[in-house]
């Protein structure tokens, strides 16, 4: 890690220059933030689990024809990805009402939505990632109308596929956030799924108990955060090869 040039440090990941041009290494940290950075903590072992969970979900999505930036996992905390130009729009898909939609629109928590709802947020920490309309995205040139159509179509496909995948292991996919990037190939550009798909950016509820198996456990101080992520990995059949030394530790430090 020390040899590589750091490109960017985010809240939960660090990006390093990759071994070949056009590649990056994504390093998954144990850091957790919530409420636009106001709450911070360390969830020991989260990075290892998220690296493995995102590898698994991106690979499965790739197999059903969703283009992604993922190349391969390198080790416990790192994965090789294609370098993309991140589109500054967070795409949220919701199946069940939770979180901000309840506050914003007064929808009762846990109400099934009449249909899956896709929302866009402008990726800007200073502004607190505001909800935006397609109009803002295209008018300000964050994405072209065709790009946005592609993103919406991909987001709905991801939702269909992941909803089924999680349902099969007793988990309801309540909502999730995706990021997309532009991948350049000579003169050609295509939009691919980027960033990560992990319990940090999804709401996952146990089908029996409706208990949270995601970052809401950290946001709401519910405890057993890493255990919940571990259970998601276990149900997906991908518990990482980590020994107890790598995984154990205080679940949440603030
Ligand atoms: N989300 C995310 N990053 C963000 C905002 C939201 O990953 O910056 C995810 C969040 O984990 C949830 C979904 O997107 O699965 C919808 O989040 P919501 O708008 O309800 O916001 P929140 O209640 O998390 O503030």
pTM listed for this prediction: 0.94
Largest CA distance in the chain: 51
Look at the block and give the residue holding tokens 């607190």: 128
The stretches of 36-79 forming alpha helices (DSSP H) are: 46-63
Measured in angstroms, how far is the CA atom of residue 184 from the centroid of ligand 1?
A: 29
Cβ of residue 73 lying under 6 Å from some atom of ligand 1: no
User: Which residues pair with residue 193 across a beta bridge?
Assistant: 68, 180
Domains in the chain with CATH codes = 4-84+224-246 (3.30.200.20), 85-206 (3.30.470.20)
Look at the block and give the residue holding tokens 């949440």: 252
Q: How many residues does the chain have?
A: 254
The atom number, within ligand 1, closest to the CA of 203 reads 15
The stretches of the chain forming alpha helices (DSSP H) are: 46-63, 100-105, 134-139, 145-167, 216-219, 225-236, 244-247
Give the span between the Cα atoms of 193 and 154, in whole angstroms. Answer: 8
Measured in angstroms, how far is the CA atom of residue 176 from the centroid of ligand 1?
A: 7
The one-digit pLDDT tens for each residue of the chain (254 residues) are 456 899 999 999 999 999 999 999 999 999 999 998 999 999 999 999 999 999 999 999 999 999 999 999 999 999 999 999 999 999 999 999 999 999 999 999 999 999 999 999 999 999 999 999 999 999 999 999 999 999 999 999 999 999 999 999 999 999 999 999 999 988 999 999 999 999 999 999 999 999 999 999 999 999 999 999 999 999 999 986 654 445 444 444 43
The atom number, within ligand 1, closest to the CA of 92 reads 14
Contact yes or no for 81/24 (Cβ under 8 A): yes
Give the span between the Cα atoms of 116 and 109, in whole angstroms. Answer: 15
Measured in angstroms, how far is the CA atom of residue 137 from the centroid of ligand 1?
A: 19
> For residue 122, how far is the Cα from the chain centroid?
16
Give the span between the Cα atoms of 90 and 209, in whole angstroms. Answer: 29
């Amino acid at each position: 890690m020390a040899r590589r040039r750091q490109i960017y440090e985010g809240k939960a990941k660090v990006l390093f220059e990759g071994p070949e041009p056009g590649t990056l290494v994504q390093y998954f940290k144990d850091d957790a933030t919530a409420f636009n950075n106001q709450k911070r903590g360390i969830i020991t072992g989260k990075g290892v689990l998220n690296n493995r969970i995102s590898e698994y979900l991106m690979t499965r999505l790739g197999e059903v024809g969703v283009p992604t930036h993922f190349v391969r996992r390198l080790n416990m905390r790192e994965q090789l990805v294609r370098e993309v130009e991140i589109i500054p729009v967070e795409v949220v898909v919701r199946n069940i009402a939770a979180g901000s939609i309840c506050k914003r629109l007064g929808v009762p928590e846990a109400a099934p939505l009449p249909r899956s709802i896709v929302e866009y947020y402008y990726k800007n920490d200073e502004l607190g990632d505001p909800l935006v309309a397609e109009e803002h995205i295209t008018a300000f040139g964050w994405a072209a109308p065709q790009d946005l159509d592609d993103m919406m179509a991909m987001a709905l496909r991801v939702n269909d596929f992941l909803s089924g995948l999680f349902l099969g292991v007793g988990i309801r996919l309540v909502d999730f956030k995706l990021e997309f990037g532009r991948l350049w190939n000579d003169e050609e550009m295509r939009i691919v799924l980027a960033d990560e798909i992990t319990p940090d950016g999804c709401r996952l509820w146990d089908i029996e108990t409706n208990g949270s198996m995601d970052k809401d456990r950290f946001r709401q101080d519910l405890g057993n955060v890493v255990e919940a992520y571990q259970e998601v990995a276990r149900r997906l059949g991908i518990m990482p090869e980590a020994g107890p030394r790598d995984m154990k530790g205080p679940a949440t430090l603030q």
